[in-house]
Structure 1
Amino acid sequence: MNLTVLGATGGIGQEIVRQALASGHRVTAVVRDPARLTVTGAGLEVFRTDLSDPAELRPAVAGRDAVLSGLGARSRKDAGVAARLTRTVLAAMEAEGARRLLVVSAGPVGPEPEGDGFLDRTMRGLVSAALKDVYADLRAMEAELTGSATDWTVVRPPRLQNKPLTGRYRTVVGGFPPGGRFIARADVAHAMLAMIGDPATVKQGVGLAY
């Protein structure tokens, strides 16, 4: 496949690029600072932009089989960046007729897991309160996707870890795995690549966790 990866210098973004190249895909990595991209390999194109102008991004999404985004706030002070940058991406994709888009959100943004116990509900509430601005940004991002013409999928992980790829995790379309508290960034990337061709995930939020 011919893929574009946004936020390609972030933890999930670099994992998407690395795994996609290892699987033989062609990858366009969209970055602000190419020096921060540590992944290399045959089939990789680096495309530099700050995502401020949809017209500038159009060549990076034209003719692609899918666009995968790891864009998002790195801290509370960055709240607002996910929705703002996603609007740029959607405008570029719609101008080019590009359809498939997969993005990273967060578990607490989606529906509460069925059957979760008191501890999990309490932890979820505390995290949501502490990161309310970040989650408000992600909700706004998801609203932008819902109103778009793209075949979007929102992936909602819990707390992210820098651990090796396992390929073993739970996914729930339209929900979240009960008791799911952690997942490695590498496994989020793995799940997103696996969902590209899965019609059950189109225009859906997908919770994933160990």
Structure 2
Amino acid sequence: MKLAVFGATGGVGTQLVKLGLAQGHTVTAIVRNPAKFTLTDDPQLQLVTVPDLGDTKRVRAAIAGCDAALSGVGPSGTKDVTAASVPTRHILAALEAEGINRFVAVSAAPVGPLPEGDGFLNRRIVFPFTRKVFGEMYGDLAVMEREIAASGLDWTVVRPPKLTNKPVGDYRVEIGGNVPRGIFASRAEVAHAMLALLTDERAVRQAVGVAR
């Protein structure tokens, strides 16, 4: 497939590009600052600099001819309170204008409800704490999810809990909800799951939990 990856300099985005290329896809990596893009040259990789995703004409030119798009766009800290919703709004407009129907974006587990049978740690400590401390950030991700769901695209949002830099291991996937007793997921695992979900019809117009 020919894939467009937004947020390609971030933790999940970098893994999306790396794993996508390893799986034989052609990847267009869309970045704001090419100096932050650390992957080596690959004949199947095209790097496109778009400083402002609000420049729909430029974004459309970058993604023209792609089969699907994936987004690792999101906050890099607690002060980035619109870092997910605003860029994604522009991405959705460009995808719809170009007729690119399949879209997979990363969100976060605290945006969704606690799964049935979740453990004491998540119910009483982890989720209440993260929602209180990072409330604005998760609120923005919730806005992003609502706008994605309201689009006409075949979308999937992926909700991992705490992210790590571990390699791909035995992670779990829960279509339609969060993973029970999920504590963490590596950025590589999230990217691996996002790529797999591209062709999984069960995941279309669904939130999907990914966690160890």
* TM-score, length-scaled by structure 1: 0.97
Q: In the aligned structure 2, how far is the partner of 1:120 from the partner of 1:81? A: 26
Q: Deviations over 1:25-83 (max 9, x none)?
A: 11000001112111122200001012122221002222211100000011111111211
Q: Which residue in the other structure is 2:6 paired with?
A: 6
Matched, 1:137 2:154: no
Matched, 1:52 2:54: yes
- Shift, 1:177, TM fit: 1.4
Q: Which residue in the other structure is 1:43 paired with?
A: 44
Q: Which residue in the other structure is 2:69 paired with?
A: 67
For the aligned residue pairs, the C-alpha RMSD in angstroms reads: 0.9
Q: In the aligned structure 1, how far is the partner of 2:22 from the partner of 2:121? A: 39
Secondary structure of the 1:116 match is coil
Conserved? CA contact 1:62–1:97, under 8 Å: no
Q: Which residue in the other structure is 1:25 paired with?
A: 25
Matched, 1:79 2:81: yes
Secondary structure of the 1:180 match is coil
* TM-score, length-scaled by structure 2: 0.96
Q: In the aligned structure 2, how far is the partner of 1:184 from the partner of 1:81? A: 21
Say how many residue pairs are matched: 209
Q: Which residue in the other structure is 2:174 paired with?
A: 172
Secondary structure of the 1:68 match is strand
**Runs of 4+ with deviation above 3 angstroms:** none
Q: Which residue in the other structure is 1:152 paired with?
A: 155
Conserved? CA contact 1:5–1:68, under 8 Å: yes
- Shift, 1:23, TM fit: 1.3
Secondary structure of the 2:79 match is helix
Runs (5+) with no aligned partner, structure 2: none
Q: What letter corresponds to residue 119 of structure 2 in structure 1?
A: G
Q: What letter corresponds to residue 189 of structure 1 in structure 2?
A: A
Q: Deviations over 1:128-169 (max 9, x none)?
A: 111000000000000111111111100000000011122x21
Q: In the aligned structure 2, how far is the partner of 1:109 from the partner of 1:62? A: 31
- Shift, 1:99, TM fit: 0.4
Runs (5+) with no aligned partner, structure 1: none
Q: What letter corresponds to residue 159 of structure 2 in structure 1?
A: R
Q: In the aligned structure 2, how far is the partner of 1:56 from the partner of 1:136? A: 29
Conserved? CA contact 1:174–1:207, under 8 Å: yes
5 Å matches for 1:91-130? 91-122=93-124, 123-130=126-133
Q: In the aligned structure 2, how far is the partner of 1:39 from the partner of 1:113? A: 37
Identity of aligned residues (%): 50
Conserved? CA contact 1:2–1:66, under 8 Å: yes
Q: In the aligned structure 2, how far is the partner of 1:207 from the partner of 1:117? A: 16
